[in-house]
Structure 1
Amino acid sequence: MKAELTWQEAKVQAQAMELEITALIPKDAAVSIDQKMKGVLLSCNKTQHNWNGSTTVMVADGTKIEPIVKAIEAHYRANGLNVSVDRNVNENYRIQIDPPAPGESYIDSEGLSPNEIRIASGSECFTLPEGIYPGGDF
């Protein structure tokens, strides 16, 4: 039987996946990578939460972001993960990668600013220890 996942382990796993996705962005396109060190906990259900964070990659002027996001989509589809596609509020191509773990997902799209790719993460669900308040930064 698998040991219960801690929020710290969930955070480490989600941030590792953010960086795995970031590594698929062509090196000559990426200008900077900003992985947020703190995130928040959201409810999965009445007893469990997941850790949510993000990484932002600034790309060089003139970089076409949609083909990069589509290549990331193809990579994860080829590796057997469930990937859904839609358009964000700015009509930019957006993918959601859903690994099999409950609650875990990664959303990748052009960010709110030009030349920005944003990777939002949600970890696998876990149970907080008794007495830990889920509000605030984690």
Structure 2
Amino acid sequence: MASMDQHQIGVRMSCSGQRASQWTGQTKIAYCTPNAIDPDALVDDIVSTYADHPASAARSEPFPDGQPGVHVVGEHGAGYLVNENVDRTGVEILSFSPCFVLPEGMWPGDDY
């Protein structure tokens, strides 16, 4: 691994329901050498790792461009999409919280 960048501020998205929100985040991991991993093996490793976790689930879910990817649903409904990035120089992890109601007094446009 050459570098890892986890965005400190996520994006709040609306969910169905009044004042319902979802937090999203992103982590990027850059390879130090081209073709450092086999994307299919990465997906298989993640799916098999979560196979023994009763509170979590993972399934292979190719991205629209056909690139191998995996969708993990963790405890409490947190979600993760993992795939190699478009230019094949690293791995991206998109994360999603379950939907929640934004507390009174919190403005939806603030940074979280």
Relative to the length of structure 2, the TM-score reads 0.82
1:118 correspondence with 2:92: yes
Relative to the length of structure 1, the TM-score reads 0.68
- What is residue 58 of structure 1 aligned with on the other side? 30
- What is residue 11 of structure 1 aligned with on the other side? none
Describe the SS at the equivalent of 1:78: coil
What are the superposed Cα offsets for residues 64-108 of structure 1, whole Å, 9 maximum, x if unpaired?
331123212211122232212221122111111112424x20000
What stretches of structure 1 move > 6 A for 4+ residues in a row? none
Cα distance in 2 for residues equivalent to 1:121 and 1:65: 22
| Residue-pair matches, total | 108
Work out which of the residue numbers 85, 89, 94 in structure 1 matches 2:60. 85
TM-fit CA distance, 1:130: 1.3
CA contact (8 A) 1:40 1:136 kept: no
Answer 1 or 2: which has greater helix percent.
1
Describe the SS at the equivalent of 2:102: coil
TM-fit CA distance, 1:137: 3.4
Q: Please tell me the root mean square deviation across aligned C-alpha atoms, in Å.
A: 1.8
Cα distance in 2 for residues equivalent to 1:45 and 1:39: 19
1:42 correspondence with 2:13: yes
Identity, % of aligned positions: 25
Give 2:102's aligned amino acid: L
Cα distance in 2 for residues equivalent to 1:32 and 1:78: 30
TM-fit CA distance, 1:33: 0.5
Cα distance in 2 for residues equivalent to 1:123 and 1:61: 32
Cα distance in 1 for residues equivalent to 2:16 and 2:76: 14
Answer 1 or 2: which has greater strand percent.
2
Give 2:15's aligned amino acid: C
What are the ranges of 5 or more consecutive residues in structure 1 without an aligned counterpart? 1-29
CA contact (8 A) 1:65 1:110 kept: no
